[in-house]
């Protein structure tokens, strides 16, 4: 269990019946296609607050999607920017060092770049 206390499920369908009832859960019903980007991005504040509350309470979070490549990686990157005040380049390098299959789709990348600009009023250097 690795001490997991919170889980963020970024899936089209809910899977709560398969999870232990002791976990605090957040379900973000989004599919991994370009047209879902605005819908997905609108859910980020809720996800980031959930993760912030987890971290502030000493909890351990698991973020997952179907393949573990795009949606979950996008949420984690947004969290690293928001909570840990990392720039996108450093957050990406950290994520890739721990989870090499991470691969947000292009529209999610664009949303992350815009999010970084809003947070820090600048983008990461090339």
Active site residues: 65
Closest CA to 54 of 29, 79, 71, 78: 79
Report the distance separating Cα 43 and Cα 81, nearest Å: 16
Q: Are 78 and 112 in contact (CB under 8 A)?
A: yes
Give CA separation, 57 vs 5, 21, 54, in Å.
Answer: 10, 18, 5
């Amino acid at each position: 269990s690795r001490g997991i206390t919170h889980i963020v499920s970024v899936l089209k369908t809910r899977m709560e019946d398969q999870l232990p009832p002791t976990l605090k859960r957040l379900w973000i019903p989004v599919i991994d296609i370009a047209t879902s980007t605005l819908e997905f991005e609108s859910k980020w504040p809720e996800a980031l607050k959930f993760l912030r509350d987890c971290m502030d309470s000493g909890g351990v979070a698991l973020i997952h999607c179907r393949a573990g490549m795009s949606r979950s990686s996008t949420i984690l990157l947004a969290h690293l920017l928001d909570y840990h005040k990392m720039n996108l380049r450093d957050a990406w390098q950290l994520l890739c060092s721990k989870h090499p299959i991470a691969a947000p789709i292009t529209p999610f990348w664009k949303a992350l770049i815009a999010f970084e600009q809003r947070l820090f009023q600048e983008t990461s250097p090339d």
